[in-house]
Structures are given as structure tokens and as C-alpha cells.
Amino acid sequence: MNSPAPHVGRVAAVLFDRDGTLVEDVPYNGDPARVRPLPGARRALDLLRAAGIPTGVVSNQSGIGRGLLTDTDVRRVNDRANTLLGGLDTWLYCPHPPEAGCGCRKPRPGLVIEAARRLGVPPADCVVIGDIAADVQAARAAGARGVLVPNAATLPGEVETAPSTAPDLLTAVRRLLTGTRGGGS
């Protein structure tokens, strides 16, 4: 069941998944030239910046642990995305493959907790926006709130079980800023 979006006074920070949420999902992308912001992403971030709400990225980047990318590759892609999106306040990623069992890989809470710490806000006052269940599960595990913005990679069951959904990123952010109810996909 979807729950109401939090009141703007209670949103201390908004954290985003990177691939499929802020930028086009290019599997194991190590090339900054292939970074393309998704429609509405820059505008959504501009609205949050105008409201004085800190932003960050929490992203699984298992290509590093699989030997397909380097830390430098991911940092270069993140830097390009950061430039195109107008700048976010913190960028964190998990370099481990799923089988590593680390605490930072979503759906575990490590990235969300660390991003909140870096931004100086309690995790409970953060909202995590992503495109798959692991994003909203990481939010829940950290005590934050999650919003699912489905795309072609999102499974129907993930939409059905999401605590809150929005049809696109800009709508998700506008709902957070106005405190309106998040509907189904």
C-alpha cells in the first residue's frame, strides 16, 4: 500500500540511485561520454537545491568487484553525471559483487546510512528514490523512506510492494516538496 509523501519540513535529504533513476542505465558503464541524464532529472535536482534540501547518490557498482570497471572509471562517470545534473552533495557506491555479502550493497542499509552521516542528517529524515526494490529496501533497512520510480527494468511485483511510487523522477520530487500522496505507478 502506498503511503503519503513526507511533509517537506521532515525531508532533510534526498538520496538517489544513479543508473535508471538519474541517468540512463548503461550496464557497467566506465565511459563518461555515455552518461545521459534521464528526462526531468536535472529539473528535479534544481527544485531540491532551490528548497535547500541536500542530495546524494547511493549506487551499487558491482562491475568493480567483477573486474569490469575500476574505481577510477566509476568516479569519472560519477563526475560527468554530477556535472550534467548540476551537482549533488555526496556520491557513494558499493564496489562489491552481490556474493560478497557486504553491508553497503543495496538492499542493505550501509550506503544510505553513510550518505546521511556525510550530509549530517538522520537516516529517518532521508528519502531514497530508485527504480528497483533494492533501492526502497535499503531505505527501509536504514530507517529512511523509499520511493520507487519504475522503468522497464522494474518488476511488476516491485511496484506492487513499494511503499510509495511515482511515474517519473520529477513527479516524485514534486510530491516530496508539496507533501502530496504518492500513488501507484
CA distance 184 to 149: 10
Nearest-5° angle of CA 142, CA 130, CA 105? 50
Among 54, 12, 14, CA closest to 149: 14
Residues forming the active site: 17, 19
Q: 169-178 vs 41-50: helix axis angle to the nearest 10?
A: 20
**3-class secondary structure, 75:** helix
Whether 89 and 54 have beta carbons less than 8 Å apart is answered as yes
Chain centroid to CA 170? 13
Beta-sheet pairing, 126-130 with 13-16: parallel
**Rounded Cα gap, residues 47 and 169, in angstroms:** 12
